[in-house]
Structure 1
Amino acid sequence: MPAMPSRWALLLATAMLAACATPRPTGAPPGAVSVSWSDPARFSDTRENHRDTPAAREAWLSALARHLAEKAAAVLPRDEKLEVRITDVQRAGGFEPWRGPQASDLRVVRDVYPPRIDLDFQRLAADGRVLQAGSRQLRDATFLMRPPRYSGDPLRFEKALLDDWVAREFGASH
């Protein structure tokens, strides 16, 4: 006879199903935000981290782009579009090869290595008119003093930096 699922397993399954059924926030539809980037081989992070393969860079850049698109789409009015081009990234942490041969492969996260993202953007009306445009240099020197939003995520500091920009630029809350 099969074992009966525990009460906690049933609660977890119910919560997961409810999360899947939760409607999308009222904001811009998917696709209203496009995120691209310039040559990642020229990014600050790449110049300091020779260990990342092009595929690894593509993976973390794609993850940041997806995150930014989701956050911005959730707060933009439905009839607006946002185009973002990431021009430079320096991920939080740095490499300290002077600590020994194995240390040259480890990203050490300390306050002297804050996350930095540079980007250009255009916010467009439905008729294509430019509502807002500019270049931004995103920095957070206090990134280690803030409560974590994406605990365990290797891009947690960069995602929080993007969240803060979306909130400042477009008036969204976290």
Structure 2
Amino acid sequence: MNVKYIMLASVLVSQIVMAEDAPLPNPVTEVGLVKIEWQNPKDFSDIRTSNELQSRFENRLFDTLTKNINKEAEKTLKPGQTLQMTVTNFDLAGDMRPTFGATPGDLRVVKDLYPPRATFSYTIKEGDQVIIVGDEKITDMSFMSNSHRFNDRPFQYETTLFTDWLQKSVAPKL
């Protein structure tokens, strides 16, 4: 009888291990004019959460950034144009620090030393015609000194990173 339970347990464990090894599809978020593929988020430099289920945090992060990028894209792009991005690396502003039991999770410490960064490729299309294609590696080294932008929006530094890129790099090319 014990052999049956051991065999059943080994079959269940092997199925769980096989399920974990299966590659997860890259998350894709789409809002309005913007479609973003987040390529291998598990390999990103730093998108760790301090107090939330990691998958839920990633969904919230990706959805929020896509909505915020779309708001700026609607102002920047011309009618009929769309923006497609493939983010290959991302680093949230700040750095995760252990609390050694003082709180249930780690804390994100935000200082000038830890700016937000992103590496991505992008395509701007007008209908089916490609207008602009490029690869970018952006960092906002002055994210803390932009005091006029401080507010309590989620992912405000990361949003500013992308909106500044749209305003300074994409808008002049259009």
Question: TM-score when scaled to structure 1?
Answer: 0.71
Structure 1: segments with no counterpart, 5+ residues: 1-29
Residue equivalent to 1:35: 36
**For 1:5-48, what per-residue CA distance to the aligned partner results, in whole angstroms no more than 9, with x for missing partners?**
xxxxxxxxxxxxxxxxxxxxxxxxx73322221122121114x6
List gaps (5 residues or longer) in structure 2.
1-30
**What is the alpha-carbon distance in structure 2 between the residues aligned to residue 31 and residue 144 of structure 1?**
29
What secondary structure, in the 3-state scheme, does the structure 1 residue paired with 2:46 have? helix
CA deviations on 1:57-113 (whole Å, 9 max, x unpaired) are 11111111111122112221112222112222110010233x643376110001111
Q: How much identity, in percent, do the aligned residues show? A: 25
In structure 2, the residue matched to 1:55 is 56
Structure richer in strand, relative to its length: 2
Deviations 1:128-150 (A, max 9, x none): 22211111111011111112425
Aligned to 1:170: 170
**SS of the residue aligned with 1:44?**
coil
- Give distance in 1, aligned partners of 2:154 and 2:126: 35
Equivalent-residue separation in structure 2 for 1:107 and 1:75 (angstroms) = 32
- Determine helix, strand or coil for the equivalent of 1:144: coil
Pairs aligned (count): 140
Counterpart of 1:155 in structure 2 is: 155
Equivalent residue, structure 2, for 1:73: 74
The answer to whether residue 92 in structure 2 is matched with residue 91 in structure 1 is: yes
Equivalent position SS for 2:154:
coil
Cα contact 1:33–1:73 (8 A) shared by 2: no
CA distance in 1, matches of 2:159, 2:95: 17
TM-score (norm 2): 0.71
Shift, 1:50, TM fit: 7.7
- Tell whether the 8 Å contact from 2:94 to 2:115 is kept in structure 1 after alignment: yes
Other-structure match for 2:6: none
Over the aligned positions, Cα root-mean-square deviation in angstroms equals 2.3
Structure 2 Cα separation of the partners of residues 152 and 31 of structure 1: 24
Q: 1:131 to 1:66 in 2, by over 3 A?
A: same
Looking at structure 2, the residues matched to 61 and 102 of structure 1 have their Cα atoms a distance apart, in angstroms, of 29
Paired residue type of 2:170: F
The verdict on how the C-alpha distance between 1:113 and 1:70 changes in structure 2, with shifts beyond 3 A counting, is same
